[in-house]
Amino acid sequence: MNNTTRSIIAALIAVGGIAAATTASAQPRRGDSTYQQELSVCGRNQQDRAACIREAGAARHEAARGGLTSAPDYRRNALARCSLQPPADRADCEARVLGGSGNTTGNVDGSVMGGGVIRESVTTVVMPAPAVMPAPEPAPSRVPPPAMAPMTPMAPMQPMAPAPMPAPMTPVR
């Protein structure tokens, strides 16, 4: 074979390789739709755009490797943390996680993107009435105030004369 034939064969192999690569890249990879959705959020959330794109690419790469699983069960995780609480506090912890039960009401406000989730729980406790009411104490005895002397009438007030006006000021030159 001469050099021209070898060059033609090498060119055909290169063109075939490029065509195969183009066809392979044109087919959507697993996770492409999720990747496109994640990219569309970048720039419209509170995360840095470059970091958002990097994380979307890393998630796409991990999905292609089969390393991503379904979303974690956050509720089960939170209840597992409640099991570490002392028995007296465990029921209150579970009520906060589950949103209230019995005489406890729960409220969740906020978001992770907004800076945090605030969980509030209000437990209504009715205090029992005391068994025996104590007897009321007798009122302290009051000593009457001393008698006041009668008031004497005052003389009528005379109208006041107007105050004299100050002399006008003359400018100094």
Backbone angles phi, psi at 51, to 5 degrees: -65, -40
The answer to whether the Cα torsion of 59, 63, 65, 70 is positive or negative is positive
- What lies within 8 Å, CB to CB, of 79 at 6+ separation is 94, 97, 98
From residue 130, alpha-carbon distances to 46, 123, 126, 134, 138 in Å are 56, 21, 12, 9, 21
Residue type, 51: A
pLDDT of residue 27: 43
pTM beyond 0.85, yes or no: no
Tokens for 12, please give them: 């055909």
The predicted structure's pLDDT at residue 59: 87
φ, ψ for residue 75 (rounded to 5)? -65, -45
Residue 103 pLDDT: 65
* Residues 119-173 pLDDT 10s: 777 777 888 887 777 677 777 767 666 677 677 777 777 777 777 777 777 777 6
Q: Quote the tokens at residue 153.
A: 């009438």
- Please say whether the beta carbons of 106 and 121 come within 8 A: yes
Tens-digit pLDDT profile for residues 44-85: 877 888 888 998 899 888 888 887 777 778 888 888 999 999
The Cβ of residue 96 has, within 10 Å, a number of other Cβ atoms equal to: 19
Q: Which of 64, 41, 67, 62 is nearest to 52 (CA)?
A: 41
Domain extents for the chain? 3-65, 74-120
Per-residue model confidence (pLDDT) at position 26: 44
CB 61 within 8 A of CB 36: no
Judged against a pLDDT cut of 90, whether residue 86 lies above it is answered with: yes
> What are the backbone angles phi and psi of residue 64, rounded to the nearest 5°?
-65, -30
